[in-house]
Chain A
Amino acid sequence: MEEYPEELRTPPVALVSLVGCPELHTLISTHLHSEQPPINTLALPDFSKISIMAKTQKDTSASGQAAGILKRDWLLKHRTRVPAIVAALFSSDHVSGDPAQWLQVCTDLENLKALIRGRNIKLVLVVVVQSTSKHDISEDRMIALRKRAEVDSKYLINFVPNDALDLQQSLNRMGNTFAELANTYYRDEGRRIKMRLERKSFSSIELNIRYCFKVAVYAEFRRDWVEALRLYEDAYHVLREMIGTATRLPAIQRLVEIKTVAEQLHFKISTLLLHGGKVIEAITWFRQHNASYRRLVGAPEVIFLHWEWLSRQFLVFAELLETSSAITPSISFPVSGRADRLTEWELYSAYYYQLAAHYLKEKKSSLELALSMSEAEIDGMAESVVPAVYVGQFARLLEQGNTFSMQPLTDEDYIHYALAEGKRFQDSFEIIALVKKSFEMYSSSKAQRMASYCGFQMAREYFAESEFGNAKQLFDSVASLYRQEGWVTLLWEVLGYLRECSRRLGSVKDFIEYSLEMAALPVLPVAGVLSFSFKECGPAGPASLAQREIIHEEVFGLVRGQSSLASNEGNSSLKVTGDHPIHLEIDLVSPLRVVAATSNDQSVHRVETALVLSLVTNKWLRLTYDIKSEQSGKLECVSVIARMGPHFTICCRAESPASLNDLPLWKFEDRVETFPTKDPGLAFSGQKFTQVEEPDPLVDLKLVASGPALVGESFIVPVTVTSKGHAIHSGELKINLVDTRGGGLLSPREVEPSSSDNLHVELLGVSGLECEDESKPGMENIKKIQHSFGLISVPYLNVGDSWSCKLEIKWHRPKPVMLYVSLGYSSHSSEPSVQKVHVHKSLQIEGKTAVSISHRFMLPFRREPLLLSKIKPVLDSDQMPSLPLNETSILVVSAKNCTEVPLQLLSMSIEMEDDGSGRSCSLQHGGKDLIDPALLVPGEEFKKVFSVIPEVNVSNLEIGTVCLRWRRDSGPEEESGSNTAASEVLTKHRLPDVNVELSPLVVSLECPPHAILGNPFTYFIKIQNQTQLLQEIKLSLADSQSFVLSGYHNDTTFVLPKSEHILSYKLVPLASGSQQLPRVTVTAMRYSAGFQPSIAASTVFVFPSEPHFKMAHIMASPESIAVE
């Protein structure tokens, strides 16, 4: 489009000539230009310059027969030299000045009138009024001026430049006047010529076209686009008819002229349509334009001119479409029923760019052909050829002295000229630029196939220009699409180019890769190979089996180092040598995968070498390797490296057979046999890696626990390691204690896990490292013992040897625990760090409480102190037991064996807490300490009686802690063995605090220890008042069937402070056996508390007759009472 002249490219703009008063021209021009529609100005500083507008002398020599269709300069003339209006600017000073000045004005005006006489050019008078002399203008002079100029009064404008407001008004008025007049002018001009058209008063078809063109241009001046379009179309149609009828020029030039004019007309039409938003119409019009001229190739010698022309048509339209689609972005696609409806690409300018490139390429090749045909020197003859007066015509410029004359050309001369011109241009770059534009547009609109076709064309052009680097890059991207979509034939062609590029670039590796890929392409054995014309196909020749064979031979020859290929980069040749070994990597995404991803074997960080391999097409070669695994874990076949020739290797990533998924059609069933694994199951699911297991440990690890552990004792778990199959080197025993209920920490909630008190279960240590030749001290072998973790080294063990140790574990709380023991060792002494064998054992051990200790307080027999705290309503259930102050209470502590093994009780004592404040109570136990350990069978209870006398009246009396020493009873036979006896365990049990209070009243019953049927005895009830107060006591005694009673049944007495009141009753037993004494109820009125001695306390045994036994000790031993 750029090569079109400016006047053609832009819409015409009305032209006004300003004459005189040059100082105002810029101001006026700027204003007019910014008008809507704009007006151009032809500014002439003074009246002497007006001759520029003078009519050119018409060359009417061949008036009957027009010499051409359109004059080259006509449009330009009307754009720049022939104004619609001449505005004569006079200064008001001159107009109203002295006669000389007035005369000058008149003369200038006359000259101007003479110039425009006979032409339709409008005249406007502008009187520039200086504001100072505003009122000085004489009305007469003005009228005289107007008369002279023969203009209407409205075309005489007063122009006031000095006042802003006035200036604006003047400018506006001027603009409006000019616009109106220009419109009239161009309409009249158009009408004038149109008249000729309508009357058909033209002598030739050329004039017909010219008139149409002119009318259209005038319409354009008036912005009457519809009319302009119609007349351009008329002109175009008439022009089309000229083909074949015109005889004016020699044939070749005639066609050139017609096409050039057609091009201009078409450009105008397209521009108008597109600017009017009629995209579809424009495209349709272009299609028709293309269709009607494409076949008009013209003479074969200058066929390149046709292609050039056609290319230009596409290019120009592409540019127009691109600019217009930038303005109107969305094009609604018509859904029309027309047979020739538009297809998608016609809306894209990319399509036109592409075709422009295509035809330019045609031009290039035909130009080359034409140049090669005409070997004569063409330059000299073309020198003086210039464009002629008419559009699309050329003539020889003859220089005759000072005058130049145009001489028509013969066709032969023209051909020479055209060839010479054609040689001047570098079409390749133009082609690449066009295709690139198209490529980018297609890429951005996601038409990747179109884009890659463009890329291919671009690359081919680069290739032709020997720019192999660029070409290769483009070809590569194109190839990847074809590869991906499986277009073998296209891929073959591209690879052929790529191969050639890499050969030229001297890239051996690429060359081999491309060659291998080509050699493996499934080229179809098509019968009609010859339908390829060799000109069409790339450097690799047609895609055929034979060609494939050639490439195969070539590349393998190269690879083996047997041959070399000439490269044009430098003088080097492609060769695989020791200096330049080639190593190809083939991974999952490499295109060569198809070629070589066929053989699988295994190698573990090392190379297994197979001497000779021969791979058969489409068959799997099975390679079997014995691999000795030295390490456990994943064993994977990473890659296979094949070596061909001395310096060429292919490294191929291994793939799982399972990942080579083909369509699971039964058709391929027979291929299963050639899959890399024989097992058809594995053929589908086979893996390229396998798991190498550890060697089986040939070691016995034994953990023994003798039943549940007891809390407090240090429990022994013997661990025995016995080697059965191989020696044990650098063995290590790891011990872990884990809470069975999960969690590694044994006491997760404790704040200080380091303190052993907080640990529930604790690993104390390892003892008794018993080995035959064990001389070292055991503790040295212990590497690390923590509360729940231990690490012990195991000495070297020969086959068959065994080693054992004992783990000491202590339970602080009853809790089940998992004991994990794992033995890690290596079976070879040589490399201790390489591979360890691990044996794991675990054992769950229950921890149980050995003895449960309970206690009970009792009061002395038949002595009931009134404890007020017992009378009060009990609010909380676990009230502290209360003990009377200074009274003797009995404490019974019992220890029960909760285990399933017999225990030996060594001693039981109560340790008082000595807080330094003196004794708060006296505690003593009756009876002697145990001399021999007491054997406690499971479930058995041991009791011991203590008497407690609280001596301080406190609410919280600490009694002390029961200390129980015991041990497992290991049976009489083991008792003789010295050190095996189980160690003593001390179990402590803190007795709860008691409440001590002074009892105000103590009721004691006194009666003989036994009675004899019929023998009366005295029953004393003693009420001791321990307070300083007088106590009123209500007493009632219930009757008993077994006794006859004398005395009050009910009584109320007063007990004096610190004194004792004694009631005595005489009782006669009536029945023998254990009999209930009459029950007494004492009520202390002061405390309104009544109390009754317990039933046990008021029971007496009645003998039928006097028994005969000594009863001296019975009363004295409280122990016997307690045990009852």
Chain B
Amino acid sequence: MGREVSESCVDSLLTEIVSTYCNGFYANKPELAARRIEAIGYQVGHQLSERYTMERPRFSDHLEAIKFICKDFWSELFKKQIDNLKTNHRGTFVLQDNRFRWLARMSVDPSSENSSSPQDPSTMAENKAAQAVGMHLYFPCGIIRGALSNLGIPCAVSADISNLPACDRNNITKRNFDPCLVAPLTAHCELS
């Protein structure tokens, strides 16, 4: 791979996307902002999957494609493989990354903690942080969804964080992906 990009650039870009959409375009419509960010991710994932699957044999089933996402695709994007893959064998896969790189350097704006309401400052701050982090997760979710759907697996991807980086001294970020495959077997990608 010839061209490389500084990680900080990626981080900054993500931050900027989120802030532009959340505070600029759709300041008062967070769901819409989320949708837009997810759509950007979708296209990026769509195109990246094209590149990263180039030199490999075709996947014979969905599990193989998911494994590809877990290992190679994840490594390309996030510089490590995922830590745990679970499935209920009914189309739901849970991908767990114990140290998700794109959130590793995130921290919550301290000013929001100061301005928190009198009731319970710590939980308020946590909620706010969770919201902010959640916003930053739409982009990677979109990437995964775009990649999977380009591999012929239409799905829904959602992210879940149990520990916030700001709250955790060890900086361990847990996150779960939960792609619910929408009727994977009938996902017939008719090509023309």
Q: Which residues of A contact B (CB under 8 A)?
A: 484-487, 664-667, 669, 680-681, 684
Contact = CB atoms under 8 A, between A and B. Distances in A.
Given A681-B29, A681-B32, A684-B35, A487 B40 contact: no
B188 to A, nearest CB: 12
A666 B36 contact: yes
Given A486-B192, A487-B192, A684-B35, A666 B43 contact: yes
Given A665-B43, A666-B40, A684-B35, 8 more contacts: A486-B192, A664-B35, A665-B39, A665-B42, A667-B43, A680-B26, A680-B29, A681-B29
Contacts of B190: 484-485
A664 B32 contact: no
Contacts of A664: 35, 38-39, 42
A684 B39 CA distance: 13
B152 to A, nearest CB: 15
5 A-B pairs closest in CB distance: A485-B192, A664-B39, A666-B40, A665-B43, A666-B39
Contacts of A486: 192
B44 to A, nearest CB: 10
Instruction: Name the residue among A484, A664, A667 with the largest chain B CB count within 10 angstroms.
Output: A664
13 contacts: A485-B190, A485-B192, A486-B192, A487-B192, A664-B39, A665-B42, A665-B43, A666-B39, A669-B36, A680-B26, A680-B32, A681-B32, A684-B35
Contacts of B38: 664
Nearest to B43: A665
Interface of B: 26, 29, 31-32, 35-36, 38-40, 42-43, 190, 192
B20 to A, nearest CB: 12
A82 B140 CA distance: 88
Contacts of A667: 43
A667 B44 CA distance: 11
Nearest to B31: A681
A485 B188 CA distance: 13
Contacts of A680: 26, 29, 32
A1084 B192 CA distance: 115
A891 to B, nearest CB: 67
Contacts of A484: 190
Contacts of B29: 680-681
A487 B40 CA distance: 28
A664 B35 CA distance: 8
A112 to B, nearest CB: 76
Contacts of A485: 190, 192
A669 B43 CA distance: 13
A485 B38 CA distance: 28
Contacts of B35: 664, 684
Which residue of B26, B35, B38 has the most chain A CB atoms within 10 A of its CB atom?
B35
B18 to A, nearest CB: 14
B35 to A, nearest CB: 7
A444 to B, nearest CB: 20
Contacts of B32: 680-681, 684
A664 B145 CA distance: 12
A484 B36 CA distance: 29
Contacts of A681: 29, 31-32
B39 to A, nearest CB: 4
Nearest to A668: B39
B143 to A, nearest CB: 13
Nearest to B21: A666
A1027 B41 CA distance: 110
A667 B47 CA distance: 13
B8 to A, nearest CB: 23
A214 B140 CA distance: 78
Contacts of B43: 665-667
A767 B128 CA distance: 62
Nearest to B149: A663
Contacts of B26: 680
A684 B43 CA distance: 18
B148 to A, nearest CB: 15
| A666, A681, A684 — most chain B CB neighbours (10 Å) | A666
Nearest to A669: B36
A680 B29 CA distance: 10
Contacts of B40: 666
A681 B26 CA distance: 10
A358 to B, nearest CB: 24
A524 to B, nearest CB: 15
Nearest to A667: B43
B22 to A, nearest CB: 15
A803 to B, nearest CB: 48
A681 B34 CA distance: 12
Contacts of B192: 485-487
Contacts of A684: 32, 35
B172 to A, nearest CB: 32
A484 B31 CA distance: 33
Contacts of A669: 36
A669 B42 CA distance: 14
Contacts of A666: 36, 39-40, 43
A681 B29 CA distance: 8
Contacts of A487: 192
A272 to B, nearest CB: 41
Nearest to A485: B192
Output the residue of A487, A667, A680, A684 with the most chain B CB within 10 A. Answer: A680
B114 to A, nearest CB: 33
Nearest to A486: B192
A669 B25 CA distance: 12
A684 B31 CA distance: 12
A664 B26 CA distance: 16
A664 B38 CA distance: 9
Contacts of B39: 664-666
B157 to A, nearest CB: 13
Nearest to B41: A666
A666 B146 CA distance: 13
Nearest to B146: A665
A486 B29 CA distance: 36
B154 to A, nearest CB: 12
A290 to B, nearest CB: 31
Nearest to A665: B43
A669 B20 CA distance: 15
A486 B191 CA distance: 9
Nearest to B192: A485
A868 B29 CA distance: 90
A669 B29 CA distance: 16
Nearest to A481: B192
A486 B32 CA distance: 31
A680 B38 CA distance: 16
A484 B190 CA distance: 9
Nearest to A449: B192
A665 B42 CA distance: 7
B48 to A, nearest CB: 14
A667 B29 CA distance: 20
Nearest to B40: A666
A486 B26 CA distance: 35
A486 B31 CA distance: 33
Tell which of B29, B32, B190 has the most Cβ of chain A within 10 Å: B32
A666 B37 CA distance: 8
A669 B39 CA distance: 10
A485 B190 CA distance: 8
B42 to A, nearest CB: 7
A662 to B, nearest CB: 11
Contacts of A665: 39, 42-43
A1033 B192 CA distance: 120
A532 to B, nearest CB: 21
A832 B38 CA distance: 54
